[in-house]
Amino acid sequence: MRIAIEQGLPGAEAAAAHGDAVVVIDVIRASTTYATALAGGAARIVPCASRAHLEEVRHRYPDALRSGERECRRIDGYDLGSSPTEMAAADLHGRTLLSSTTNGSRMVVAAADAPVVLMGGFCNARAVARFLRVRGGDVALVCSGRLGEPVIEDWIGANWLAHLLDSGDSDFELTQDEIRERCRASPSHDALVAVGLERDFECCLAFDAFDVVPLLDGDGFVAAD
């Protein structure tokens, strides 16, 4: 198994072109939000590249909930933002969500031609690693970044997942507490604090809170078997 770490939209497109299995890593927050929603009973999450794209997709899913954020704030008129704490509190059983986020949903659309596309973060890393080990083949871990710039939480998240794939349960170079502290220094954390969503950070850094693997099935993520 070859494991590559890629960055941003160019990395997502390159990974798809190589035919790698792609894991989109947007720790704060899309990866965590999608895993939380699927664990909470959502049937499908359809990632969209923009608000206009979401409205196009809405014609196929007229009963879907619209979920999205810009700069961490819920998009005006949408049913939900992109907050894991909000998803955990919502009744999502059997619902389809259409999702437009600043970074993560765009990465998925860019990588959609890959043979396998997953969403991964600290919250479900071991489940994702198990899925990929069973599947076999080469893997690209795509760091979403923030507003086109790399962020520490996605870089560490990608290296954490690569470690689980390569070394299993051996010690990582950082403890979980050290990872949390480094991620707390990220501008992504500061952005959450600025809009009163500090609790989302704790969800995003809750290691292996979920045994769910968001797997792209056609145009949307479902929980992998």
Candidate from 123-127, 146-150, 156-160 with smallest mean pLDDT: 146-150
Residue 225: band (very low, low, confident or very high) from pLDDT cuts 50, 70, 90? confident
The predicted structure's pLDDT at residue 8: 95
- Alpha carbon of 212 to those of 56, 104, 127: distances in Å? 28, 18, 6
Check whether domain 3-218 has CATH 3.30.460.80, yes or no:
no
The predicted structure's pLDDT at residue 132: 97
pTM for this predicted structure: 0.96
Tokens for 97?
């969500």
Strand partners, 142: 6, 24
Residue 148: band (very low, low, confident or very high) from pLDDT cuts 50, 70, 90? confident
Residue 139: band (very low, low, confident or very high) from pLDDT cuts 50, 70, 90? very high
Query: Over the chain, what is the mean pLDDT?
Result: 96
Q: Are strands 96-100 and 44-47 parallel, antiparallel or unpaired?
A: parallel
- Alpha carbon of 34 to those of 72, 81, 101, 136: distances in Å? 15, 12, 11, 24
Give 85-132 pLDDT, tens digit per residue.
999 999 999 999 999 999 999 999 999 999 999 999 999 999 999 999
- Residue whose structure tokens are 């050290």: 178
Tokens for 77?
């008129």
- Residue whose structure tokens are 């909930």: 65
Phi, psi at residue 32, to the nearest 5°? Answer: -70, -40
> Which of helix, strand or coil describes residue 52?
helix
Give 21-50 pLDDT, tens digit per residue.
999 999 999 999 999 999 999 999 999 999
